[in-house]
Amino acid sequence: MKSPIHAIPQLYRNVRRWTEILSILSKFGLADWISRLRIDFVKDTLKSSAGESLARIPAAKRMRMAMSELGPTFIKLGQLLSARPDLVGGDLSEELSHLQDRVDPEPFHEIKATLEDELGQSLNDVFAWFDENATATASIGQVHRAQLENGTDVAVKIQRTGVAQTIKADLEILAGLAQWADRIDELKPFRPRQIVAELTRSLKRELDFGREERNLHQFHGKSAKLKQVDIPAPMTEFSTPKVLTMEFLQGNKLTDVDGWASQNIDPDQIVQTLVDVQLRMIFDDGFFHADPHPGNILIQQNGRIALLDFGLVGRIGESPREDIEDMLFSVFNDDVAMLSAAVSRLCDFPSNLDDGALERDLTDFVGQYSSRSVGEFQIAAVFNAMFEIVRRHQLRLPDEAMLLLRVMITLEGSARKLSPGFQIIEALKPIHRKLMLRRLSPHRQLRKLKRLGSQFEKMAETMPRKLSGIIDQIRTGKIDINLDHRRLGSSVNRLVLGMLTSALFLGSALMLAQEVPPLLFATQTFWGMKNLSLLGTLGVLASFLLGCRLLWAMLNSGSLNQKD
């Protein structure tokens, strides 16, 4: 762990950004304090850029507004936290999910300079024409429509100038803050260092457009299996880590019903196709589009669906997928035992977990949702209630599992915008039957046996060497035994203080008995005392005060006369 001294160069290097951050946070922090006052006219002193009274806005919304004003890194942090209701709670997670990553477009001459510098050619040498007006903007990049010399219509995504440097400075600041926050007991459950580490990985991936290009290649290779769905083909020749050129797909956004409803396209069929494709990507391949919100889904004139923005994708193994499936269907089938088993396999438990309380919460959870009809069964409500249990007991879900669950919630929300009566649980039933048959298939069982055999073989090879090492350590007396004590910190401190007090008293008494100089009352007697050692006298007084302090602490602890 880096010490605070290591953060000093970062502080001076990013002093301007620190000033901006502190200014914005102080404004919203002051608004939070003012909101608790019962003086109405004071609450209107601080206003947002839109003229709203900050003190009259709910705390969760103020946090979202602060992150939006702080810029791209903090917007991404808010979006990351919105996917972790197990850490921040359902209300704040829901509010942060509304963070919009939209900003004003960058001037074209700056975008043109980046584009030509990355491609190593003049704009006119690469494109037959290039639209100077951005069709989409975000904090990291913006998209322009263009046409290649061969007549292919393309969408060109260009990274904004200087955004990488801004994000680097913000990440250094957040890393320093996370180190301090990790030392505060109230903030430790939020795992600040892990959150910042995850944010750093996510942003580095988003800054590398080459990664999104590779994702497009992988998904485009699977597009033949994804019926009624189109994925833009990447143009590798005209792509770099800061520029991504891809096929341009024309269509109306999913929410623009008026734009495609006149084409006699059935909304229910669109929803069914979208959900079926996404669920097959998740449960068949374990490689899926991880941001299926309506803005990334187009309905083309021919009725086919186009998926956009593959900067965020998910990968999940077979075992976690099965555990999540068991969690979902255990609720629907009123099976507490299956749910407990799935949670225990999927989550990491804290050392102080109350197993009985967790079992009661899971039983109540199943009882609450298992009695509901299919029409009342909503994935978002079920998972959000589960997240509250996870957060209450400080369990930890794997990041890939959290991403999958949030994708299913987002997918259900997008589907319900077009078909309010849509039930994702009905779409899951045929997939559930298919996966159950796959679990029981001889081929899968044979593969599992081979994997177990390989693990046992490796264990058999390494076990003798490890046992020999342990025996050698015991024989030479080098083995260490680590004992994990809990809630003994105050008791150990009192024990050490008592021993030091006793040692100080005994040493001081010996100094008094041996009349160790310097001496008090060497020439005259005071109250019958003569030749008192000054150091001994001070030591006795100090030991007396320490003894009183120790006795006072023991009395206040309430356990001095407590019976077992």
Is the per-residue pLDDT at 31 higher than 60?
no
Model confidence pLDDT, tens digit, residues 205-224: 888 899 989 989 888 777 66
Same domain, 530 and 454: no
Model confidence pLDDT, tens digit, residues 188-208: 766 778 888 888 888 888 888
Question: Residue 288: phi, psi to the nearest 5?
Answer: -145, 155
The answer as to whether 484 is a domain residue is no
The answer as to whether 179 is a domain residue is no
What is the structure's pLDDT at 238? 92
Is the per-residue pLDDT at 156 higher than 90?
yes
CA 140, CA 160: separation in Å to the nearest integer? 6
Same domain, 277 and 418: yes
Q: Which of 100, 118, 142 is the last residue in one of the domains?
A: 100
Is the per-residue pLDDT at 33 higher than 60?
no
Out of 378-382, 398-402, 502-506, which region has the weakest mean confidence (pLDDT)?
A: 378-382
What is the structure's pLDDT at 484? 57
Q: Which of 100, 123, 146 is the last residue in one of the domains?
A: 100
Is the per-residue pLDDT at 564 higher than 50?
no
Is the per-residue pLDDT at 51 higher than 80?
no
Same domain, 316 and 423: yes
Is the per-residue pLDDT at 48 higher than 70?
no
Same domain, 369 and 346: yes
Side-chain half-sphere exposure of 420, counting CA atoms within 13 A: 0
Where does the pLDDT of residue 128 fall: very low under 50, low under 70, confident under 90, or very high at 90 and above?
Answer: very high
The answer as to whether 172 is a domain residue is no
CA 157, CA 135: separation in Å to the nearest integer? 10
CA 188, CA 178: separation in Å to the nearest integer? 10
Could you tell me the residue range of the domain that residue 138 belongs to?
A: 102-166+205-248
Is the per-residue pLDDT at 425 higher than 80?
no
The sign of the dihedral angle between the CA atoms of 312, 318, 324, 329 is: positive
The answer as to whether 190 is a domain residue is no
Same domain, 374 and 512: no
CA 35, CA 56: separation in Å to the nearest integer? 6
What is the structure's pLDDT at 528? 62
Q: What percentage of residues in the chain have a pLDDT greater than 90?
A: 8
Tally of domains in the chain: 5
CA 282, CA 286: separation in Å to the nearest integer? 5
Whether the CB-CB separation of 159 and 242 falls below 8 Å is answered with: yes
Same domain, 462 and 501: no
What is the structure's pLDDT at 371? 65
Same domain, 308 and 433: yes
Where does the pLDDT of residue 372 fall: very low under 50, low under 70, confident under 90, or very high at 90 and above?
Answer: low
CA 249, CA 228: separation in Å to the nearest integer? 14
For 529-543, b where at least 16 C-beta lie within 10 A, e where not — what string? eeebbeebbebbeeb
Mean pLDDT score across all residues of the chain: 77
Higher pLDDT, 368 or 246: 246
| HEC readout, 471-513 | HHHHHHCCCCCCCCCCCCHHHHHHHHHHHHHHHHHHHHHHHHH
Same domain, 346 and 276: yes
CA 101 to mean position of chain CA atoms: 18
Is the per-residue pLDDT at 43 higher than 60?
no
Same domain, 458 and 345: no
Out of 30-34, 302-306, 328-332, 440-444, which region has the weakest mean confidence (pLDDT)?
A: 30-34
35, 146, 331 from 392: Cα distances, Å: 27, 51, 19
Whether the CB-CB separation of 169 and 14 falls below 8 Å is answered with: yes
CA 423, CA 542: separation in Å to the nearest integer? 75
Element (H, E) at 456: helix 442-476
What is the structure's pLDDT at 34? 47
Is the per-residue pLDDT at 11 higher than 60?
no
Region 151-176: mean pLDDT is 87
Residue 334 has what DSSP assignment? T
Model confidence pLDDT, tens digit, residues 61-82: 777 777 777 777 787 787 777 7
CA 219, CA 222: separation in Å to the nearest integer? 5
Is the per-residue pLDDT at 477 higher than 80?
no
Whether the CB-CB separation of 101 and 75 falls below 8 Å is answered with: yes
Higher pLDDT, 52 or 178: 178
Region 235-247: mean pLDDT is 92
The answer as to whether 115 is a domain residue is yes
The answer as to whether 197 is a domain residue is no
The answer as to whether 173 is a domain residue is no
- Confidence (pTM): 0.66
Same domain, 131 and 269: no
Same domain, 283 and 421: yes
Same domain, 436 and 450: no
Higher pLDDT, 250 or 445: 250
Region 526-549: mean pLDDT is 78
Model confidence pLDDT, tens digit, residues 95-120: 777 776 667 788 898 989 999 999 99
Where does the pLDDT of residue 262 fall: very low under 50, low under 70, confident under 90, or very high at 90 and above?
Answer: low
The answer as to whether 194 is a domain residue is no
Assign residue 150 the CATH number of its domain: 3.30.200.20
Is the per-residue pLDDT at 13 higher than 70?
no
Q: Which of 73, 100, 127 is the last residue in one of the domains?
A: 100
